[in-house]
Chain A
Amino acid sequence: METGTALVLTAGMAGVTYCTRLPLFLLAIWQVRLPLLLDLVLGEIPVAAFAAIVVPGVLAPHGHVDLHPSNLYLYAGLASAAAVVVSRRLVVTIAVGVGLAILLRQLFG
């Protein structure tokens, strides 16, 4: 990609991304209080958002659902989940998941 094109692309991506971040943030300045239902819906956003990263990341690492035993991320995902339950530490979770993915790829890749 040419430099000028890449710069325009970067500027465009940066601009629209900031536009997704700022507007609702400003509600805090105006001290807006939300109705209970909306509060409860927002309370579910973390679980929904993290699941939206994790599930396709593990089950469909190449864009399409891959439940075949040759999808090594399945094992890495299970191991990461076990690691967080046992250790409660994020570093351990990443090290176990990434380490196992590399190890299995090396052994069976």
Chain B
Amino acid sequence: MSGEVGIVRGARDTLPVGFALLLIGLAWGYLAHAVGLPWWIAVLMSLVVYAGPAQFLAAALITIGAGIPAIVATTFVANLRYSLFAATLVPLLRDAPPARLVPLAHVVADGSFAVTLRHVAAHPDGRRLDLYLLGSSIVGFATFPPATLAGALLGSSLPPLLAYGFGFASPAIFIGFLVPLIRDRVAAAVAVLSGAATVLGNTYLPAGTGPVLAIVCASVVGGTIRWRREPRSS
């Protein structure tokens, strides 16, 4: 895969996610307006934080009057899953120029991660995945921040009916990524365990910690089951 092909391919494969990000960005801009954030702060967050779920969480915390340290700490914990994503991508990025990884780390997000892994599953011997990830992120930054601007400026003139529907864009796209991955019983068990633990964690644990703990626990259980089944010479 030559450089340009990799970028174009990553961008093209991300277009459906871009569609979802448009709706999520609109919903985020709408929410930011509702909790009293200036429109340009909403857009700036989408550019420099670039983490939809954490931004929604921050808005929820603002409405209950949480202070900045609490919101920042919650953001850190909630986004620790990006560390898990980064670790998952590491074996695939060995041929990337090291200097490029430092800025590229910023684009590791739920959508780009999902698209990249889907690409790897279909092309296991693909090269220069950093270019693919870069192309994917171009679509992410071309959709999420501008849609945030539109949502924040539209604000209360965005019909609540549409805002309700756009709220389903995130579950919908990740249903699209999740369902094809449930190929065996271990995967199904990991999904059920992670989903149930997240719901429980969101109910009983401090904000943001539930999903991260659930992802780690479910992955350790699933990975260990597969490890015990591995044929080993001993």
Count of B residues near A, CB < 8 Å? 102
Contact with B along A33-66 (1 / 0, CB 8 A): 1101111111111111111111111111101110
Task: Supply 13 further A-B pairs (C-beta < 8 A) apart from A15-B72, A21-B108, A94-B176.
Answer: A17-B49, A25-B89, A25-B93, A37-B224, A41-B219, A47-B194, A48-B218, A58-B171, A81-B175, A90-B17, A91-B15, A97-B175, A106-B161
- Whether B86 lies near A24 (C-beta < 8 A) is yes
8 Å CB contact of B224 from A15, A25, A41, A81: A41
Inter-subunit contact A42/B48 (CB<8 Å): no
Asked if B71 is at the interface (CB within 8 A of a chain A CB), the reply is yes
Given A56-B195, A93-B176: A49 and B110 within 8 A (CB)? yes
A interface residues, Cβ below 8 angstroms from B: 1, 3, 5-29, 31-34, 36-61, 63-65, 73, 76-77, 80-81, 84-85, 88-91, 93-94, 96-99, 101-102, 105-106, 109
B75 interface neighbour in A16, A101, A106, Cβ under 8 Å: A16
Q: How far is the CB of A64 from chain B (nearest CB, A)?
A: 7
B173: A residues at CB distance < 8 A: 90, 93-94
Q: 4 tightest CB-CB pairs across the interface, nearest first?
A: A55-B195, A41-B223, A97-B172, A57-B171
Q: Are A43 and B223 in contact (CB under 8 A)?
A: yes
Question: Can you offer 6 A-B residue contacts whose CB atoms are under 8 A?
Answer: A13-B51, A24-B84, A28-B94, A40-B230, A51-B195, A65-B203
Secondary structure class of chain B's binding surface, majority of residues: helix
Q: How far is the CA of A40 from the CA of B82 in the complex (A)?
A: 18
B84 touches A45 (CB 8 A): yes
For B161, list chain A residues within 8 Å (CB): 102, 105-106, 109
Does A51 lie within 8 Å of B191, measured CB to CB? yes
Is B192 an interface residue when CB atoms closer than 8 A count as contact?
Answer: yes
Is B114 an interface position by the 8 A CB rule?
Answer: yes
Contact for B180 among A6, A12, A32, A84, CB less than 8 A: A84
Residue in A9, A34, A42, A105 whose beta carbon sits within 8 Å of that of B165 in the complex: A105
Tell me if B141 is interfacial: C-beta within 8 Å of chain A. Answer: no
With A17-B50, A29-B98, A47-B182 given, is the CB distance from A22 to B105 under 8 Å?
yes
Shortest distance from the beta carbon of B129 to any chain A beta carbon, whole Å: 10
For B171, give its contact among A17, A65, A73 (CB under 8 Å): A73
